[in-house]
Structure 1
Amino acid sequence: MPPKKPETVAKALGLRPDFLWGVSTSAFQVEGATKEDGRGPSIWDTRCRLEGGVWGGVNADTACDHYHRWPEDIALMKEIGVSAYRFSLAWPRLLPRGRGAVNPAGLDFYDRLIDGLLEAGIQPWACLYHWDLPQALDDLGGWTNRDSAGWFADFAVLAAKRYGDRVKHWATFNEFSVFTLFGYAIDWAAPGVTDKSAHMRAVHHVNLAHGAGVDILRDHVPGASIGAIHNRQIVRPEGGLEENKAAAELLNAHWNLVFADPQHLGHYPAIVLDQMEPHVKAGDMAAICRPTDWIGLNHYGPIYAKVNPDLTWGYGWGEPPQSANHPEVGWPIFPEVFKEELLELTRRYKMPIYVTENGCGGGAGSDEPDETGEVKDTHRIAYFREYTKAMRDAVAEGADLRGYFVWSLLDCFEWGSGYGPRFGLLHVDFPTGKRTLKNSGKWYRGLITGQHGGE
């Protein structure tokens, strides 16, 4: 059966005629080639070499070898049928020391990638920052240094001038709260600082960098469509216990509000004002709250918070109720919360939304090829079936949703979890780099082409 027209598929699913289907990756997680062609070290290269920094003691020196295998990966995207690819630009590949001397080989790599995507009829969606701060800038204080907003602005100018003639969809940052909270308050990510003041300084300086990036992209990219990508998860007290409610309220502010509120509403949430005000100077909020075209949502499920006096802010991650286990997926999933987040984003910020990450990294099924070479990841298909239905239900109730990007195109380096969880539509045999399209990738192709109605 030939594929149906995209607008016909969208109509059948209750979506906009121009609804966009895509896949996402990030530079550090897939590229490899960390020591090739003049790339400088990032804070994650450093963390990979710290004892206990990454599960299994692994690194991303090779990762998926996307740096060399990008033509194959583009061909596989085309086979799946996606119309957009969200990737990030590696700051230390373009500016090995974070500022100053430019690396021509790094610039050339993204020229090849972007041109290859356009030739294949796939829209390039570029994210400026996906956690790979150059180590040389971290040595100067990283995001705790107010100068970091200016360093980021210079990086943004370089990227916009070089690629803005071909790349029209841009995100400033990916998942602000993850790399700030886990990097500066809870030691789960680079650079591994645990200090309240450092955390709040990093939050404010990243917000300033975002605002500067928006203005630069607007000035240097004709016809730019600009947004930022937020991880949002409803925060619930573990067990519904009264003793965990204050922990959930503060975590909700740090996780869901301290970036999106100032960027779109022009102010920080009241619960953090005492900690934020020492770092806010005259004109800062206006510099942060800049007009954008869309908001990106990365969502997997809710967070359960509990009191933990041993951690920086007195809260920690709790456990979801086991009653939420999905019989096919094998672990708790909450598609109704996904629907709720899409509706809440539309109500709170009144912005068009793109789901820039959604996916499944574990479960009862297998992510390994069987004896015939087939990857029967039925758990992931069950997850996508439930979440894309919830997405369509949200649209039916008024969510202004414009597109959906699966995390991820490839099994890849998953930060502190190393190569343990596999999220890809493509299985990667890491020793050889061989790609195999999983059954979930075939299911996604069927959804995009109208071969099934999401069932």
Structure 2
Amino acid sequence: MSLDFSKNFLFGCATASYQVEGASFEDGRKPCIWDTFASIPGKVYCGDDGKVSVDQYHRYKEDIELMDKLGIQAYRFSIAWPRIIPNGRGEVNPKGIAYYRNLCEELHKRGIKAYATIYHWDLPQTLQDEGGWTNRQIAYDYLEYAKACFDNLNDVVDSWITINEPFCITWLSYLYGAHAPGYQDMSLAVKAVHHVNLAHGLAMKYYRDKGYTAPIGITVNPQTPRPATRKESDIEAALLSRALETEVFLGPYTGKGYPQILTDKLGITFPIEDGDLELISAKVDFFGINYYNEYPVSADESNPLGFAQQPFWERKTNIGWPCDSEGLFRQLKWLDEYTNHTPLYITENGSCEDDKLTLDNRVHDKERINYLYNHLEACSDAIKAGVDLRGYFVWSFIDNYEWTEGYSKRFGIVYADYKTLKRYPKDSAYFYRDVIAGYGKIDR
């Protein structure tokens, strides 16, 4: 069976600044919250940090040349706030601007589109010291940072994404404590949710008011779990989970406001001020979707949130996540309806596998190829079912710093030797090359 995509469908790859750039203290960059978090014993595997990573800051031309050889049509990267405004607010760093201009210009020389994410988690530590995303002022600090990106880079960026994965910035980082800055406090998390949403809205208003025309949107990682059973309690638990972890963002972005169920069931209210919801609901050109898995959930009275994930039957990737491409199809169908048929892009999708470099410098990652094929097939099926899905970005272009997992987990279609920093395309890179070229077939 072949994968059926139109000639206009965009195939890309993705990374994030802290995960690949390295050069943490070069050319004026100052510490971000992940520099701080990684230095806390026990927070990150082996105490790994992003000081060097795969050194894309110095090797971006080499990486872009490789993207070109693989037929990649677009590169989704993120801009590092502590490179552009090192102190979080105030003076713009010309060396930071120059780096991203050079990156975009090199992409264009190869005919590759530049998809820039303004914020992918590397908040300047100076702003965290003032409360980070729990402090309403940060939405306005973000606006000034976004202005610097728009005004200095709009002529070389083909498409903009304001924020990557609000769920991770807020619930994962302020409620569950798993990511930087590592808090576990519902009241702080609720504030962070609203301030991230407000930051997005402020940036959208500025962008529209300036008359910039490159497409702009936001990337979410929707949690759309399935009920573990047909019991009404489990069905309600799945709806509550989706409201808390997904609709709390998509609702305001699409003019629906915050889900009432969160107040009714969990007593949550958000620190809304006059005009906030109007700003946040500014129309986007697209929604980016990061999808990796779908979990079954059930009602759980012992959990303060009222629901809990349940065991699953699917194969686990090397990071422990279930492989569920049918979940992607279901999610795309739901998102298409919920967003009133707003164009969608898969801005991240990929698989963590136990990759081994052979003596002849190859990586035979058959499990990842199967994962990618099945999820691309789900994308193809969703398009046939009427979903306005316009592109797919594999996560990730290259093995990199996987947040709290450090360098122990690999998602790349390109293998990184962390000692020599040499790059080796995996079999999945050549599979993806064939998909882009129109030959997406594998032996079943």
The TM tier, using the shorter chain, reads over 0.9
Shift of 1:124: 0.2
Is residue 407 from structure 1 mapped to residue 395 from structure 2 by the alignment?
A: yes
Map 1:341-420 → 2, pairs under 5 A:
341-349=331-339, 350-362=341-353, 366-420=354-408
Go from structure 1 to structure 2 and tell me whether the alpha carbon gap of 1:85 and 1:312 turns closer, same or farther (over 3 Å shift): farther
8 A contact 1:181–1:254 mirrored in 2: no
1:25 matches 2:43: no
Which residue of 50, 53, 63 maps to 2:40? 50
**CA deviation string 1:36-60 (max 9, x = no partner):** 1110111111000011111222111
Q: Which deviates more, 238-247 or 70-79?
A: 238-247
Matched, 1:430 2:423: no
Matches within 5 A, 1:292-331: 292-305=284-297, 313=305, 318-322=309-313, 324-325=314-315
Q: Does the Cα contact within 8 Å between 1:169 and 1:224 map onto a contact in 2?
A: yes
- CA pair 447-278 structure 1, distance change in 2 beyond 3 A: closer
TM-score, normalised to structure 1, is 0.91
User: In the alignment, which of 160, 168, 182 is matched to residue 178 of structure 1?
Assistant: 168
Aligned to 1:5: none
| CA drift at 1:89 | 0.4
Change over 3 Å in CA distance of 1:427–1:21 after alignment to 2 = same
Counterpart CA distance in 1 for 2:303 and 2:405 is 20
| Partner SS, residue 128 of structure 1 | strand
Letter in 2 for 1:422: R
TM-fit CA distance, 1:376: 0.3
Deviation at 1:119, TM superposition (A): 0.9
Q: 1:71 to 1:224 in 2, by over 3 A?
A: same
Which letter does structure 2 place at the counterpart of 1:166?
Answer: V
Asked if residue 288 in structure 1 is aligned to residue 276 in structure 2, the reply is no
C-alpha distance 202-310 of structure 1, shift in aligned 2 (>3 A): farther
Does the aligned pair in 1 maintain the 2:101–2:156 contact within 8 Å?
no
State how far apart, in whole Å, the 2-side matches of 1:381 and 1:52 are: 33
CA contact (8 A) 2:32 2:125 kept: yes
Percent identical residues? 40
- Taking the aligned partners of 2:38 and 2:117, their CA distance within structure 1 comes to 23
TM-score (norm 2): 0.93
Give structure 2 stretches of 5+ with no counterpart: none
Partner of 2:30: 40
Alignment partner, residue 96 of structure 2: 106
Q: Secondary structure at the match of 2:284?
A: coil
| Matched positions, count | 439
Gaps of 5+ in 1: 1-11
In the alignment, the residues of structure 2 paired with residue 239 and residue 411 of structure 1 have an alpha-carbon distance, to the nearest angstrom, of 37
The range that moved more, 219-228 or 428-437, is 219-228
Tell whether 2:245 aligns with 1:255.
Answer: yes
Q: 1:33 and 1:348, CA in 2 relative to 1: closer, same or farther beyond 3 A?
A: same
Residues 263, 309 of structure 1: CA spacing in aligned structure 2 closer, same or farther, 3 A cutoff?
A: same
